[in-house]
Structure 1
Amino acid sequence: MLKDFLKKKKRYATIPSERAKQEVPEGLMTKCPSCRTIMYTKELDKNLKVCDSCGHHFRMTAYERIDSLLDEGSFVEFDKNMISKNPLDFPTYEEKLEADRKKSNLNEAIVTGKGSLNNLDLVIAVMDPRFRMGSMGSVVGEKITRAVEYAIEMGIPFILFSASGGARMQEGVLSLMQMAKTSAALQKLNRQGGLFISIMTHPTTGGVSASFASLGDYNFAEPKALIGFAGRRIIEQTIRQELPEDFQTAEFLLKHGQLDRVLPRLEMKETLTKILDIHSS
């Protein structure tokens, strides 16, 4: 009887060896932070980083976003080697910039360029939160302005995907000036009859949400994206009221008239193609 008990215990108490654990390649599986579903990373990538179970939108890098939308081989990047300096001599800023360049393989928090979507020409700008949380410094503002000016010159639409923590504190007022600079460029595009489509992704906050991200002829956002200016806690302390649970989400903004549509990523390419086609004619 004791022998049977020991056999049974040994059978059900087996712990996988370290060798067995190491045989599972790192990055093979991804767990959804929303519904906890575990899926193959390759399948998630094929689904444009959208959870097939609950629709959670994972973050995309700038180049992943561009590859998911534009015609293969059509993208030509602008100002790739433009990098930030340290005009205010902010302590450790240059070291942090260099660390972000190595981590993200980007020179700045935005990628701009021209390309085509289903043979419709456009200029595109995509922010990447891996670099300084997508914060808006002088280079980000300059690259957006140059991209808008190119769209004006060529008479083609401008599409911008924002993802940002706001203005970059290490550049002080120089960063804040980019709000006016980019807004002025977009006003010029508007006067010329150009088309600007703004798509806010998670998160779009601070000076970015208060400037160019909210100035589109069409203002879209991905589902459940955080969009706002100041933080929730600061607003509650200022107005001394408890805010709704869904406050500063894309769905809340749509309900209150600040967005034209909450646009799921899997519908993005088809919807943008229709809009570009309408305006091209």
Structure 2
Amino acid sequence: MGKGLFHNPDFDPDRFAADMEKRAAARTLGILFTPRSGSSWLTDVLTQTRLFGKPQEWFNPNFMGNTLKRVNANSPQGYIDMLRRKHSLGNFFSFEVTIYQMHRVFGKDPGLMAYLPEKFPLIYLRRQDMVLQAVSLAKAVQTDVFHTVNTTPEEIASAEARFEYDGDQIRQWLEHIFDQERKCEAFLADREGPLLRITYEQMMRAGAEQTVRRFLRRWRPLKADDPLTFEPRHAKIGSARNKTFAQRFRDENPGVMAEIAAFREDVRASIAGAG
């Protein structure tokens, strides 16, 4: 566990004790995701509903220091206790996390799960087309444009013009994503609790309202006529060039594609066998 991540020289025990008297969110929702899988889109949509908390990367070690000080905590359990009280919405505390972040901050076993209620619902978000996912990550790193929010159309056009095919770089990021997917599946195989598997492609086809209603049917039923409205803030950065580069990579690396397909087939068989 990254114990140093919870060091807080400004910790105020009296303030902490007073905050612990406040009501905490009764429910929990987690999103386990792989990079460039639409997690920013999903968390924005869920936050806009005001029904499923405010899922953010609370356990990203790059961001935790400032949040730790703001909520006034100095331990893993204390940090989560404060988040449940100060950053809940709709009686939910929600978060998004990658498997790497989870392991870095909390270790592997029992890790983050030791500090959360048993059998809380978890969304596992990945991308069906892992090569396009790797191309998207390579493009973001090459051009330093990760999202359309706070990015001008001119900056996006400039990034598109600068993006060049680099098979080695795409393969590096593909291995990065594939490793996370394998670790996610190992984690999920040992976890008990409600699980919803969803892909970037399914979300984009369904759109915001139908994606949210899928969650509502499982975890927070509303009447059929309850309205849901969203203000779109995230748009796709992918382009025809992304697709061209992805197809070129597939053509040049059939062995890698076969390895990914075999792994995913084993996962499908395991899920089917588990009923």
Q: What TM-score comes out, normalization by structure 2 length?
A: 0.30
Find the structure with the greater CA-based Rg. 1
- Structure whose residues are more often helix by fraction: 2
- Structure whose residues are more often strand by fraction: 1
Q: What TM-score comes out, normalization by structure 1 length?
A: 0.29
